Structure formats: structure tokens, C-alpha cells
Amino acid sequence: MTKIHAACRLSLLVGLLTLCASATAASEIEQQRALFQSVYAAVERGDWGAVEELSALEQHKLEHYVLWPDLRASWLRANIKTVPATEIDSFVQQYGTLKPARELRYRHALNHVGSGDLPGYLKIYQQFYQGQDIAKLDCLALQAEIQAGRYQRVKTRAIKLWTVGKSQVDECDPVFEYLASNRLLGKVEYLNRYRLAVEERNFTLAKWLAKNIDQKHIEIAARWQQAQVNPEDFLRQYLHKRSGKVLREQLSYATERLTYRDPAIALTLWDQATRKHRFSEAQKLGTARHIALWTARDNLPGAYDLLQALSPAAQDDEVMRWRARVSLRNSQWENLLQDIAAMDDKERQVEEWRYWRSVALHQVGQVLAAKAGFESLSTERSYYGFLAADELGKNYALDHANLAADELKLTELEARPEITRARELYFVGQDSRGRSEFDAALRHLADDDKLQAAVLANRWGWHSRAIVAAASLGEYDDLAIRYPLPYQSTFEQFASQARISSTWAYGIARSESLFMPDIRSRAGAIGLMQLMPATGRDVARDIQLPYAGLATLTDPESNIRLGTTYLGQMAKRFGGNQVLATAAYNAGPHRVDGWLPLAGSIDARIWIENIPFNETRKYVKRVLAAQTIFHWRMTGQVRRLSDELLAVRAAGKTAQVASR
């Protein structure tokens, strides 16, 4: 008994010591984090005095912080023109595996160029960047080779950089001038680049290149530009002229361009062109498919006949989808069943077509088969799963299951240097850098560790990384991780002021940014609710919110206020119809205006399926499903998705709930 009691006391003592050590370490890193944040802004401006003003103990703590290299690199970047190269080289050599050191090395290399030290740049380039095919760096290296008189190493590499179908980076201009002045660019080189420019539809570049070929190519390039800018005029002008291969390509291209603007006119002119000119089979198939698809997307008469008349070689998945959507839009239920049956096996099993097949079966009286389809789909936690459950009056598949936390693994994982760095970057407000390092670390983890990384990120409140880590393993059942509730009081306050539901705003924010306050889209939208700067400025003016551009849009509270206000404006504009307002938030209200029926109304589910933009169509479904889940998360109650689907009516008409 005594030995057992002694063992228990020892185990308890070890546990207490471990707990105390962990608490001490946590306190220490919190102090280091606070010190870092207190000096970083000054250091980033190049002022190291902020660090020197700290006490000796504080400096010691800061020097042993995991982000010390980031702090030092920031100061070196700010003072890169005056700091001795040896100091930078020493830093890079010590911390070269870390991203801040790699970024500093890149800046250091370019600083050699800026100061006229091309040999110094070339030394760094040859050691770290050669062979990476970065045009800017490659051309700077060639400048160094030219300056050093090593011409034999220049021609082949320079012509390779020259031979692209786009305008190269400015750093290549001196290299290309060297080629031209030494007559190393002949007609063959210009022709090669000209062809690439035409292939990439860079006709301005093609026209410039043609000046160094001959008058014929100048005229051809001018025709390409006309086909691009004024496709209808081009088709009418050249439709009845004798054609060679190039003109046929231009006529086909002009028809493609015109189709985006007016499929009906494009079809008329293309029919005339095919009677006059001998297009290749690929040109005829491709252009006919393009016209048929855009006739369907624009909801024009005759779309189904055009899609159905396409050659079997052109009947790909996208064509089959739009055949089904046109049948759906026209309530041609027998046709819809045939369209779905004609899809390949993989496409037929997509939730979209499983749902609509069941609807069509019900419409043609095959009630039992329809019910079986709805039953199968209603087990899915998704847009179509919810709609199927609505058809049956069943509960939604909202089963929540926490990811299993392994505390020992979590402790080990959090102690890894790369994970610690990522966490600290997030905690000090450098989200983008933190995401980059977290994702890099995630790629090298075993699946069990990835699972714990999701749990860990969620505990930190780093929701975007928790969602991504869980999704990378196909783990979708922990709804607290997948549908978190950050900034809840802020969302509720401003959603209430905008007279919209906070759950809808949450659905938008999750779909837009995964709750990343600093994220920027390729289109230029910024922040949690992904607002374009112009939209943010206009809404800020409407509500008299001081607007400072990027600083306002990346501030979570301001972004949520602006985003919910704008969403409320869209809801008001579209008569309270969340489907239309959600589509407008993504694609813009003027586009949605153009997608409204000319008269009468259409079931919102069918309208959603016929949104011409793939991105917007998926976005609307994703937001609606997310809103449903957020409502359950916040209230514990189910709000039927179908009850949110107001009929889509012609412009100026009042919305109403669509009957099922």
C-alpha cells in the first residue's frame, strides 16, 4: 500500500511540476509577445532605438522570442541601403531557413542592383535563384553578364526570355536592347514571338512585333485588334471576303467575342460564315458549342434546340448541365429526366442532379421513386440535403461531433518551432505571414497531427486555419470548427442595425473570407466581408463612418459594419429577397437586374440553377446552406431553407415565398 501511495504522490508531483512549467512558459511567451508588439511598429520604420530603450531583462527576453529573427529582419529591410552587406550576409546565413531571412536576401539582392553592383547581385543570384525561371531575376543576371562582357552566355538565355506571348518585365528591356543592337533578333525571332502573342490574344504586342516583320503581318495584327474590339463590325466587313487560314481563325474568334455580347446576332452571322468559308471541324464544333451555351445562359429562345443539335463530340458535361437547366427553367420534366439520364455516371451522382431528378420524378407522378431519391439525399449536410429534407418534412442532418483532442499530441505539436512561429505571427497580428507558415507546416504533418492542428488552431481562435486543416482530411462533422462564431456581438449589433439576420451575415463572411480580416481577393475585395474599396467608401459615406481605405476595410468591426450595411441595402433593393441580394453581393446588383425574369415569377430554386456565372451560382448555394447551419449553431433551432426562398419576380414586383 505504501508503495502505491508513494507512486501516486510522485505522479501527482510530476503532474503539478509539468503544469507549473507549462504555465511559466505561457507567461514568458506572453511577455515576449507584448514586448515584440510594443516595438515592432518603430522597428519596421527603421528605428532600433525602441528596442534599446527596453531594460536589459526585457531585451534578453525579446532576443529569445521565436519572432526575434522577424524583428531583426524588419529593421534590416528598413535600413538595407545603409547596413553593411556583411551584417545582412551574417543574418541570412544564420536564419536562412526562415521566411523573413529569405525575404531579406531577396531585397538584399535587388539592393545590389539599385546601387549599381551587378556583380554582387549575380553572386547571390547564382547561389539561390538560378534555374527558378523568374524573369525579373533572370534578366538582371543577364544584365550582369553583359556588363562583365560574357556575351557567349547571353544570347540563348535572352532569346528564350524574349520568346513569350506577353510583354516581359521592365528588367528585361536592357537585355532585349542588347539583342537588338547586336542584330541577334531577326525575322525568325520576331515571327516566333508574334505567333505566341496572337495565341495569347495579346494583339497590341503582336502589332508592335509585326512592324519588324512586314506590312502583311501589320495588317493581320490590325484585323485581330478589330475582331477583339468590334467583333460585329469585323464579321460584317469580312464575312463575304475570300479567306485563308488566318481570316477563318479571326472570323471564329470574332464570333466568340460577339457571343458574349449578343448570342443571337453571333448565331446569325456564324451561320452565314459557315456557308461561305471552309472552317475546320474543331472551329465549327467549338463555336457552335460556345453560342449554344451562351444562348442558354442568357435565357434566350431556342437554347435547348441548339444544345441538343450539337454534334456528339461537343456534348460535354457543361453542355449536358445546361440542357438540364433549360429543361428545368421551362418545367419540361420529362425532358429533364432524359437530360439527366444522358449525363455520364459521375455527373449524375452530383447532388444537384440527384435532387432535381427526384423533383422531376415527383412531377411526372413517380412518387415512390422521388421519395427514395429525397430520402437518400436528405442525409447530407448541404444545400440540396436541406432541400430534400424539406420535401419530406424531415429533420436536417446537422449532427455535430467534436474532433477528438489528444492533449499529449497537442502539447507536442504546439512545441514544434514551425507551429510556434505560425501561432505567434497570428497572435501579433501578422495573419498573412502566419497563414503561410502554418500551411507550410501542415503539408509536412501526418494525418493524425493535421487533425490536432485543426483542434489547436480552433483553440487559438484562428478559424481559417482550423477550417482548412479539418477540410484537408475530409473532417466535416465538427460544426464548431467549421462554422465558428467570431465577433458575434459585432455581427449581431450591425446586422440588427441593417435589419438583416446575423446568421445571413455570418454565411456571407464565412463564404467570402473564412473570417480572415486581412484577406484580399484577386478582384481587389478586402477583409472579412470582402468589400471592394469603392463600395466600402460609398457605404461609409452613407452611414458617416470615417473611411481610411485599407485600414478601415481590414479592421474587423468596421468591415462587418460596412458589409452588413451593404447587404442590407441589397436586401432592400431586391424587396427582401435574400437569394437575389446574396447573388448581388457576389456579382453586383446590375448583373442581377439583368437576370430577373421579364414577366411573372420563377421558383427561386430554379432561378439559382440558371445563374449564368458558375461562381455566383455556387456562392449563393454555399451562403444559404451556411446560413442554415449558423442559425442552428446560434439558436439550437432549425430554420427551413425552403422558407427563405422567395419567388424571383420580374423587376419592380413584390417578392413572395415560393410554394413547394
Half-sphere exposure of 47 (CA within 13 A, CB side): 9
Tell whether 620 and 523 lie within a shared domain.
Answer: yes
Tell whether 612 and 467 lie within a shared domain.
Answer: no
Residue 80's pLDDT band (cuts 50, 70, 90): very high
Tell whether 416 and 499 lie within a shared domain.
Answer: no
Domain that holds residue 435: 407-476
Model pLDDT for residues 186-220, shown as the tens digit of each residue? 999 999 999 999 999 999 999 999 999 999 999 99
The tally of domains found in the chain comes to: 2
* CB contact at 8 A, 213 and 197: no
In a domain, 533, yes or no: yes
Q: What is the CATH number of the domain that holds 464?
A: 1.10.1240
- CB count, 10 Å around CB of 388? 27
Active site residue 352: no
* Res. 156: pLDDT tops 80: yes
Q: Give residue 12's pLDDT.
A: 46
* Res. 8: pLDDT tops 50: no
User: For the purposes of burial, counting CB atoms within 10 Å of the CB of 116, is it exposed (0-12), middle (13-18) or buried (19 or more)?
Assistant: exposed
In a domain, 579, yes or no: yes
Q: What is the CATH number of the domain that holds 638?
A: 1.10.530.10
CB pairs under 8 A, 24+ apart, for 636-641?
Answer: 638/395, 638/396, 638/398, 639/503, 640/386, 640/390, 641/383, 641/386, 641/387, 641/390
Q: Give residue 652's pLDDT.
A: 64
**Residue 41 and residue 264: Cα distance in Å, rounded?**
59
**Residue 507 and residue 530: Cα distance in Å, rounded?**
13
Tell whether 559 and 602 lie within a shared domain.
Answer: yes
| pTM of the full structure | 0.91
Q: Which residues contact 652 (CB under 8 A, 6 or more apart)?
A: none
Residue 18's pLDDT band (cuts 50, 70, 90): very low
Q: Give mean pLDDT, residues 405-424.
A: 96
* Res. 656: pLDDT tops 50: no
User: For the purposes of burial, counting CB atoms within 10 Å of the CB of 629, is it exposed (0-12), middle (13-18) or buried (19 or more)?
Assistant: buried
Q: Give residue 439's pLDDT.
A: 97
Q: Give mean pLDDT, residues 19-36.
A: 79
Q: Give residue 23's pLDDT.
A: 61
SS3 of residue 594 by DSSP: helix
- Please calculate the CA angle 258-261-266 and round it to the nearest 5 degrees: 40
Helix, strand, coil content of the chain in percent (nearest 5): 70, 0, 30
Tell whether 443 and 520 lie within a shared domain.
Answer: no
Residue 15's pLDDT band (cuts 50, 70, 90): very low
Q: Give mean pLDDT, residues 554-571.
A: 98
Q: Give mean pLDDT, residues 635-648.
A: 95
Residue 464 identity (one-letter amino acid): S
Tell whether 447 and 563 lie within a shared domain.
Answer: no
| Domain end point (choices 436, 454, 476) | 476
In a domain, 259, yes or no: no
Tell whether 449 and 510 lie within a shared domain.
Answer: no
Whole-number mean pLDDT of the chain? 94
Q: Give residue 425's pLDDT.
A: 98
Closest to 484 measured CA to CA, from 500, 451, 460, 452: 460
Q: Do strands 648-649 and 601-602 pair parallel, antiparallel, or not at all (unpaired)? A: antiparallel
In a domain, 298, yes or no: no
Q: Give residue 19's pLDDT.
A: 45
Model pLDDT for residues 448-484, shown as the tens digit of each residue? 999 999 999 999 999 999 999 999 999 999 999 999 9
Tell whether 436 and 526 lie within a shared domain.
Answer: no
Q: Give residue 21's pLDDT.
A: 52
Q: Give mean pLDDT, residues 347-358.
A: 98
Q: Give residue 181's pLDDT.
A: 96
Q: Give residue 261's pLDDT.
A: 96
Q: Which of 171, 512, 609, 644 is catalytic?
A: 512
In a domain, 531, yes or no: yes
With cell 547596413, the residue in question is: 83
In a domain, 376, yes or no: no
Tell whether 471 and 511 lie within a shared domain.
Answer: no
Tell whether 573 and 615 lie within a shared domain.
Answer: yes
Tell whether 640 and 601 lie within a shared domain.
Answer: yes
* Res. 562: pLDDT tops 60: yes
Q: What are the grid coordinates assigned to 75, written together? A: 529593421
Model pLDDT for residues 297-352, shown as the tens digit of each residue? 999 999 999 999 999 999 999 999 999 999 999 999 999 999 999 999 999 999 99
Q: Give mean pLDDT, residues 286-306.
A: 97
| Domain end point (choices 476, 506, 525) | 476
| Domain end point (choices 453, 476, 499) | 476
Strands (E), 517-634: 601-602
Residue 655's pLDDT band (cuts 50, 70, 90): very low
Say what percent of the chain tops pLDDT 90: 93
Say what percent of the chain tops pLDDT 70: 95
**Residue 75 and residue 89: Cα distance in Å, rounded?**
14
Burial 431-442 (b: 16+ CB within 10 A, else e): bebbbebbeebb
* CB contact at 8 A, 414 and 655: no
Tell whether 540 and 598 lie within a shared domain.
Answer: yes
In a domain, 498, yes or no: yes
In a domain, 561, yes or no: yes
* Res. 567: pLDDT tops 70: yes
